Amino acid sequence: MERHILKFIYEAKSRANVDSLITSEYNRVRQLSIKRKQELGLTAEEGRLQENVKKNRYKDILPYDQTRVPLCLFTNENESDYINASFIQGATANKSYIATQGPLSHTVVDFWRMIWQYDVRVIIMACKEVELGKKKCENYWAPISGTSVFGAFTVTNLEESGPDEEVIRRTFVVKYNQDSRFIYHFQYTTWPDHGIPQSSDGILHMLELAMKAQGKHKAPVLVHCSAGCGRTGVLCAVDYVHDLYQTKQIKEDFSLKDIILDIRDQRPSAVQTKEQYEFVFKTVVQMFEKTMCGTKPNYENLNEHRLSLYNDSEDLLKTVLRSSLSCGGVSAESLKLRAKPPQPSPRKMNDTYAVVNKSKQAPTTVTHHYDNAESGGLKGKPPSAAPAPATSELYSIVKPKGRPGTRSPTPLTVPIYDTAGVGKQRAGDAPAAPAKDHGDYEPVPGKCGPPSRETQMKMPGTKAKLESVPSQDDDYEYVSCPLKDSNRTADSFCTPGGLGFNCRIKKPKGPRDPPAEWSRAER
């Protein structure tokens, strides 16, 4: 059955996209209706009788004698058995409709006679009482929480939904003699005469509510608009198809055109205009998509079940799957998960204080000396340390900068930078090291090699080695700050043209801010 539904959806959408095809097909339906009327011998003699003519709202919409609803319940001696209403057989044996016109002021009693005689429980009204300034239907019920009397019938309106809703729901209690019955009334208020609603959602919602109220009740469902043919025929056709789907009667020869022709054989001019004819197709398509998506969300079973249904028509399957279903149908290929390429594991940054982007430099054989290697701050040499040549011992004595108007500062007894020893405190908290008497100069820990500064300046490759010290220890950052400014004054830490200095800064422990000395600008 699903194969036939998908085929119908594709054909209906293709038909809707071609206006000329809709027009020609609707004209064909009208021609076939006239031909079938002659072949079946359908007549409307009762509606043309003089005593019954005034009971017809429109003189050209008369019930067929073969399917009209006869009235057998007489409450007055002057009443007849005629009412402008027709039986329409539903999709199942116990389902039927009464398609009728909106009652006139002098046929309201006949309207309630019919409802009571055929034990109608659900009334579906597809029009408003007044449309475009014209009376379309007589008000045959009481106001909210009120009671009205129509001949021998007493109608009480128990409850009613808001008047601004698309579908107004009412509950009536109808009393005749000593018996009372509940009747449920559904009125669709946004359907223009000879036109179509803007959306099918309201129609489908109203039919769903009505069929829930009907339940397993076997009496006919009464459907009416103004004339009881155009909008009434649309509702009967859509509900007819819904019952076919529920009872799994949709077969390969399923044709909505044939269903509408069958309804026209029972009620003349059912589905009255080309726009209404097209609206039936769109509404049925939306209903199919809604019910099928409710069973199998997102069509996830396409690959398992649908593909086998189209072994005899591969081209049709491709075309149907390309059509965009309103429930978000997708092809089976789009449901396959694509394997993602392996992603590198992210580097842990929990104990990282700062990240410095350093340009890649060619490896060098220069070995870095720890500042406290000879002062006893670190016992033994680190695993990566190796004996350094004399040319790599480039540490020098730095003279503090003098300030105008003050005497030379007192030599510091605490190193400005942290030493590389394990367990040392931060620079501001480090214990004082034994001071030697160097006068106005403070020695930087480490050896001062025998070559003099002038000799070092003449050594080839020394400056390049200083600027290309590699970082091999993840715990420390090597900082190279060569002072190249030859215009410095005599008060600078380094003499003009000096090589500057190398130092190692230990990563801070914990979330504390770096010491103030770290941010002091070098001059």
Residue 10 structure tokens: 């594709």
E strands present in 107-240: 122-125, 130-131, 134-135, 147-150, 153-160, 167-176, 179-188, 221-224
Residue 91 structure tokens: 């999709």
Residue 470 structure tokens: 């590699």
d(Cα 122, Cα 217) in Å, to the nearest integer?
10
For residue 89, the 8-state DSSP code is: E
Residues 6+ apart with CB under 8 A from 88: 67, 96, 97, 98, 99, 236, 263, 266, 267, 270
Q: Per-residue DSSP letters for 501-522? A: EEEEEEPPPSSPPPPGGGGPPP
- Residue 329 phi/psi, 5-degree rounding, is -60, 145
For residue 270, the 8-state DSSP code is: S
Strands 122-125 and 179-188: parallel
- Residue 464 phi/psi, 5-degree rounding, is -65, -35
Residues annotated as part of the active site: 225
Could you tell me if 318 and 281 are in contact, meaning their C-beta atoms sit under 8 angstroms apart?
Answer: no
Q: What is the largest CA-CA distance in the chain?
A: 141
Angstrom distances, CA of residue 9 to CA of 12, 123, 404? 5, 30, 95
Strand partners, 130: 135
